[in-house]
Structure 1
Amino acid sequence: MSTADPATAIDLAPVVDQPWRLGERGRRWFDVTLVALLVLPTPLYLLAGIPWGVPLSLLQVVPLWWRRAHPDAVFAAVAAASALQVVVHDNPLHSQLAFPIAVYSVARYSTARAGLVALVVGAVAAVVATVDWITGFDGVVNVRSFTPYFLTVSAFVVTAWALGTQGRTRAAYVATLVERGERIRQDAEQRVALAAADERARIAREMHDVVAHGLTVVVVQADGARYAAAHDPEVATETLARIAVTGREALTDMRQLLGLLRADEETGRNPLPGLADVPDLLDEAARHGHVDADLRGLDHPVATAVGLTAYRVVQEALTNVRKHAGPSARTSVQVAVDDDHDAVTVRVVDDGRGASAPDGGGHGLTGMRERVDVHGGTLETGPRPGGGYTVEAVIPL
């Protein structure tokens, strides 16, 4: 038998350690450091007699500061600066490392289509850069000289694109898992709330019958007292006393459940069950499995709402036994009104497999707790050490 709350089941799930990631501030500092490290060697081009190296390096490196927010625009700027270098300067510059970084940024932070475009542009750039560098070194462009340069440059581009694509795919997968977990949590909370609302509506319907019954008795007795007053004042006095008792009981029931009333709905005409109906409930349960009963004090008068709550607790507990404990489970049911008539005690114990059975989306515990809490009582549920499940409720009178 299982009465686990879905929301609680989620809370008790094992916590998986999350991988370490940079926060927003850490990412900003990372980009600042990256740009600074690539800009730092730029003044050396003046000492080497390559004045064009300074503006070209800045044009290629500085856009990387915005590579996360605007990856496509940054790649376009870096690619344009690299193309300008082919026209102005024939030798490689250290700032050309910005190109594979820009390719990575497009593959990581933009779309898959933009990443493929960057890969194709990178392959073309590898061909152009290889020819430009070999020519700048006064070499002859042939297969033997072209191949090692091209493979080296293209390896940077392909590696950057592959790493960026992997990062984007993983980020999308993690986001999907997070969204799914949030949907599961919201669905569990909604199901619990709906179960509580259904139970309150059910109590409201039953409360309607409780109060209607009490008022009907009051009206009938008041009519009798009015007719008896003229002939037998003593009978009228006794009738008025019974009216007062009935009214107080109806008011007590109404005050206990008033906070749960949510809607006025029509109810059936069947009388509300109580402690006197528990034996019939156990006889029905015995047809589905072995049930041992220990019933004491059921003939003592109790408030209608208290008897109804005790009946519903037994009914829900037996339902869970039938659903989850297994066909060969034995059930022990104890219902007793204390000798001093201050509480009704309900205890349902089974020796089945309910403690390990899946919940199946039930909300029996929610409904039982709603009912018992209204009367200021206590409800304890849980698996037994030797197997099986226990439900125990104490409902004050």
Structure 2
Amino acid sequence: MPFVVPRSAELPPADWAAYAMTTLGVLPLVWRRRAPVTVLVAILLLGGVYRLALDGPGQPLPYAGLISFYTVALLCPARVRMAVGALAVLVVALSVGWSTGTARELLFTFFVSAAAYALGRLQHTRQAYTAAVEDRAEQLERANRIEAEQAAARERARIAREMHDVLSHAVSIMIVQAEAGPVAVRRAPERAEAAFDAIAETGRDAMAQLRTMLGVLRTDGASPRRPQPGIEELAELLDRVRGSGLEVSYERTGAVRALPAALGATVHRVVQEALTNVVKHAGAERVAVTLEYGAGTLAVTVTDDGRGPRGGPGAGPGGGHGLIGIRERAAAHGGTARSGPAPGGRGFELRVSLVTSRQGVGN
């Protein structure tokens, strides 16, 4: 200010030593966050040296001391703050008594010092709140990411089951028909043509279902989609299996009613997987498919007269992956799957119980 507004004539002129000391009193603020208490003590000592050694441009500027006191309130623990506060009261009292000794200056100095302390504590609270909000947002983002990864894993497992069921069923039927083709050509040429037609129809149906599933994975929305096969498509499925030479019966009992699309798709896939394994492993001549509609439940039973547990509907390459997939589908609808020898000891039986409503859960 002496360079802008001339000093009073009765005051001594400001010299470069006074300006250098004032600047030196501000320099410790560079380290205020690393050592707030040490910086505060250094600034107070420099202010005392200024008053004792120099008679510069008025009293030393108090801003450096207030900023360092604010930093102590912001960063230091409670015990340190209490000690520094007691020291500040003593220093303020001595400084005012040395300067003017008036109550007005004493109250003003205490007021600005308390304001600096209060601002430091408010800033500490604001930073703590901001850190808590950021931490909560980070945890929420992490939870959303984990949930998305789990959903993606579930979806991959579902698609894998769907592709396994479609390909396994189609290839099994085609193999059976292809193996029977040469025999039919020699013994009953008219049956050979039907076998080749069945191979072509099975292949076309498998390709259509695969295109539907792969279309779900497309993100451009260009691929046409259609609902997954449900109970209404069981008749077509059974006809294809009959084309392999297996005698298939189909029966529905109880109060037959419409089912949700997801549940109908599960029933279709369960029956498809069971029949596929009968064709591949059971060596059966007859298989019976029964749907039993209960109060809030639906039971799907597939029974064959083949070689028994090692070759029945739950069998599959790799130690029973077919039955594992069926159990996963049943569990997704709150149901269970059990398998074992068919009644009478011959053949194999698979029974899957599915929940169709909340009432069924309580039962």
Using structure 1 for the length normalisation, give the TM-score. Answer: 0.48
**In structure 2, what is the equivalent of residue 53 of structure 1?**
18
Which one is further off, 198-207 or 84-93?
84-93
**In structure 1, what is the equivalent of residue 265 of structure 2?**
308
Q: Deviations over 1:47-90 (max 9, x none)?
A: 73454532332222344466568755643442231232353258
Q: Any residues of structure 2 matched to 1:30-179 within 5 Å, and which?
A: 48-49=12-13, 51=15, 53-64=18-29, 71=36, 74-88=39-53, 93-108=59-74, 110-113=75-78, 115-134=81-100, 145=101, 148-179=104-135
Q: Are the equivalent residues in 1 in contact too, given 2:177–2:196 (CA < 8 A)?
A: yes
**In structure 1, what is the equivalent of residue 188 of structure 2?**
232
Letter in 2 for 1:194: Q
Unaligned runs of 5+ in 1: 1-36, 135-144, 262-271, 287-292, 299-304, 313-366, 368-397
Q: Any residues of structure 2 matched to 1:177-196 within 5 Å, and which?
A: 177-196=133-152
**In structure 1, what is the equivalent of residue 161 of structure 2?**
205
- Whichever of the two has the greater Rg, that structure is 2
The number of residues matched between the two structures is 237
How far apart in 2 are the matches of 1:117 and 1:235? 103
Q: Are the equivalent residues in 2 in contact too, given 1:103–1:160 (CA < 8 A)?
A: yes
Alpha carbons of 1:294 and 1:186: their partners in 2 closer, same or farther (altered >3 Å)? closer
Alpha carbons of 1:151 and 1:89: their partners in 2 closer, same or farther (altered >3 Å)? farther
How far apart in 2 are the matches of 1:119 and 1:170? 22
How far apart in 1 are the matches of 2:173 and 2:29? 85
Which one is further off, 234-243 or 187-196?
187-196
Q: Are the equivalent residues in 1 in contact too, given 2:26–2:43 (CA < 8 A)?
A: yes
Superposition RMSD in Å: 4.4
**In structure 1, what is the equivalent of residue 353 of structure 2?**
none
Q: Any residues of structure 2 matched to 1:381-396 within 5 Å, and which?
A: none
Q: Are the equivalent residues in 2 in contact too, given 1:60–1:78 (CA < 8 A)?
A: yes
How far apart in 2 are the matches of 1:190 and 1:197? 10
Q: Deviations over 1:174-228 (max 9, x none)?
A: 2211221232233224323422321331231132122111111111111221211
Using structure 2 for the length normalisation, give the TM-score. Answer: 0.52
Q: Deviations over 1:82-132 (max 9, x none)?
A: 232353258961412321122113323x33355445433322321331232
Alpha carbons of 1:90 and 1:54: their partners in 2 closer, same or farther (altered >3 Å)? closer
Alpha carbons of 1:163 and 1:45: their partners in 2 closer, same or farther (altered >3 Å)? farther
Letter in 1 for 2:86: V
Letter in 2 for 1:245: E
State the secondary structure of the residue aligned to 1:95: coil
Letter in 2 for 1:133: S
If asked which structure has higher relative contact order (CA below 8 Å, sep 6+), I would say 1
Alpha carbons of 1:310 and 1:227: their partners in 2 closer, same or farther (altered >3 Å)? closer
